[in-house]
Structure 1
């Protein structure tokens, strides 16, 4: 990750980065898109009430909550929480209040519903 990206993440400078539509109510800023050989890294911004439908992890996924609270069937994850979802696991994700997460996927997920 370039030094400027690290600085943006730790100083809240990410708030000024451009985000694009990812899903309804969820926007994305790619830090490093998937290239077939290495993981994708991005910021996801959930509007209050936004969700991602049930999906299966085809590779390891790690998440760091930067702002707000992200939730899944296992619980609520507040700012500063680090989440690890192993390959083969399934869940849906939502945020009642809105949140921003730093996410890294080894491989894209498979959407199972919605």
Structure 2
């Protein structure tokens, strides 16, 4: 399967575009954002677990990164409530299980460098945000390796950012509020993938919280 596999193109998926499909695992549905491969794939996906569902034990052949959007994700290593950011590098394994409230995560698979071996879990609601590069922006760094950087960025209402280029590309997932730029408005639940050297001039009238990953698409550029 190839889905949004041309990384030279900008892609925007809003909540009204979601099309959930059943996973082979009972009680698990997926909204595929991009994908190269079948069940074993380089993939970015929103995964929705039904209450009390389980997932088979599995090894992360290409690494796993996820952000818990709703509910509590659990495995034999711990419980990860909404706002948790987890990285499981290549070769790690686990057996997920979900409690009675269900769970939704944003997950990225098979996108790790084999040199990126740091395993981590961050409870983002418990961590302090740092001043950003513009008034009205605060930032919680989550991960950095070589050209790749991952962070949560909070925009106060009315914050504007300068026009800039995305070296190595940029991915955004809007967690709260509405993110905006000259191309449109992006409510909570929107996923945006912008290619290497693309540009925009973003702002947020009402304020927002976004997950941002930059620098990781350079090798995918056409």
Which TM-score band applies after superposition, normalised by the shorter structure?
0.7 to 0.9
Q: CA deviation at 1:90?
A: 1.0
Q: CA deviation at 1:52?
A: 1.1
Q: Between the two structures, name the one with larger relative contact order (CA 8 Å, sep ≥ 6).
A: 1
Match of 2:131 in 1: 21
Distance, in Å, in 1 between the alignment partners of 2:183 and 2:202 is 10
Gaps of 5+ in 2: 1-62, 71-81, 84-122, 217-222
Q: CA deviation at 1:58?
A: 1.2
Judge conservation of contact 2:160–2:203 (CA < 8 Å) in 1.
yes
CA RMSD after TM alignment: 2.2
Normalising by structure 1, we get a TM-score of 0.79
Match of 1:90 in 2: 199
Greater Cα radius of gyration, structure 1 or 2:
2
Distance, in Å, in 1 between the alignment partners of 2:124 and 2:200 is 27
Judge conservation of contact 2:166–2:199 (CA < 8 Å) in 1.
yes
Gaps of 5+ in 1: 108-114
Secondary structure in 1 aligned to 2:124? helix
Q: Deviations over 1:75-98 (max 9, x none)?
A: 000000000111111111100000
Distance, in Å, in 2 between the alignment partners of 1:2 and 1:27 is 26
Q: Which has the higher helix share?
A: 1
Q: CA deviation at 1:38?
A: 4.1
Normalising by structure 2, we get a TM-score of 0.42
Aligned length: 103
Which 4+ stretches in 1 moved above 3 angstroms? 12-16
2:191 paired with 1:106? no
Distance, in Å, in 1 between the alignment partners of 2:191 and 2:164 is 19
